[in-house]
Structure 1
Amino acid sequence: MELFKELFESYGADYETTMSRFAGNEKFYLRVLGMLPNDKSMENLGRTIKNGDMAGAFEAAHTLKGVAGNLGLTPLFEAVCAIVEPLRKKTARDDYMQLYRVIQGEYERAGAFLESLKDV
């Protein structure tokens, strides 16, 4: 449990708050976190931004924001928040792809976090 908590906090997440959502059950948390790679929101976000589909991009980003928030993936959550509001407001911007790349990096970090927890 202690190593799990250390890995969690070194990733940049709030262990106590997140684990309270999972009734303190680390195995259950790990099982749910393990579903992240199967979620299509990240893929959909990239595709919709490339295609200029801002409504679709908002939907994908908003879903990813909820997933990241519920899983306590704070760095990913914060990266997604930077794109959700401009998309919600339909703000014309030239940097959506750059914001997506930041999200991609945090998504990869979340994947590495998942892998590190599997070893505990």
Structure 2
Amino acid sequence: MADLKEVFQKYGIDYETTMSRFMGNEKIYLKILSMLPRDENLRKLDQTLQAGDYPAAFDAAHTLKGMAGNLGLTRLYQAICAIVESLRTGVPGEDCAVLFQSVKEEFERAAGLVELLKEVE
């Protein structure tokens, strides 16, 4: 069975940098990461985009961006950065649906990481 550092490397997470945010405490990191699938901001982002409420969509996306960044989820972070920048203007481009799909896929991938890491514990 792989250890946490190996799983991180396969997912593209910088183990050292990410663990430094959690003072090297893997248990705390795993506890916080395990909350990711229950986070409501992806659903809020979807709903607010569909409703055309771009300020609220920006808030949800920005919250996801911070969470992904702090957890070291680089691919999710990069996907969210793209939609945050699109929403920052208040009038997102036509590519917003494509950007959201990318965020959704990376969020699901990160949620899969949560399941994988349960095996490491």
Classify the TM-score, shorter chain. over 0.9
Match of 2:116 in 1: 116
**How many residues are aligned here?**
119
- CA deviation after TM superposition for structure 1 residue 12, in Å: 1.1
For normalisation by structure 2, the TM-score amounts to: 0.94
- CA deviation after TM superposition for structure 1 residue 56, in Å: 0.8
Match of 1:37 in 2: 37
CA distance in structure 2 between the aligned counterparts of 1:64 and 1:116, rounded to whole angstroms: 21
Secondary structure of 1:112 counterpart: helix
- CA deviation after TM superposition for structure 1 residue 91, in Å: 3.6
CA distance in structure 1 between the aligned counterparts of 2:22 and 2:92, rounded to whole angstroms: 38
AA of the residue aligned to 1:30: L
CA contact (8 A) 1:50 1:97 kept: no
- CA deviation after TM superposition for structure 1 residue 9, in Å: 1.2
Per-residue deviation, residues 33-83 of structure 1 (Å, max 9, x unmatched): 011122111110011111111111100000000000011111100000001
CA distance in structure 2 between the aligned counterparts of 1:84 and 1:96, rounded to whole angstroms: 10
CA distance in structure 1 between the aligned counterparts of 2:51 and 2:61, rounded to whole angstroms: 15
Range moving further from structure 2, 84-93 or 49-58: 84-93
Match of 1:49 in 2: 49
AA of the residue aligned to 2:64: L
Secondary structure of 1:23 counterpart: coil
CA contact (8 A) 2:86 2:96 kept: no
CA distance in structure 2 between the aligned counterparts of 1:28 and 1:83, rounded to whole angstroms: 29
Residue 91 to residue 112, structure 1, CA distance change in 2 (3 Å): same
CA distance in structure 2 between the aligned counterparts of 1:78 and 1:95, rounded to whole angstroms: 15
Residue 31 to residue 6, structure 1, CA distance change in 2 (3 Å): same
- CA deviation after TM superposition for structure 1 residue 92, in Å: 3.8
Output the aligned Cα RMSD.
1.1
Gaps of 5+ in 2: none
AA of the residue aligned to 1:14: D
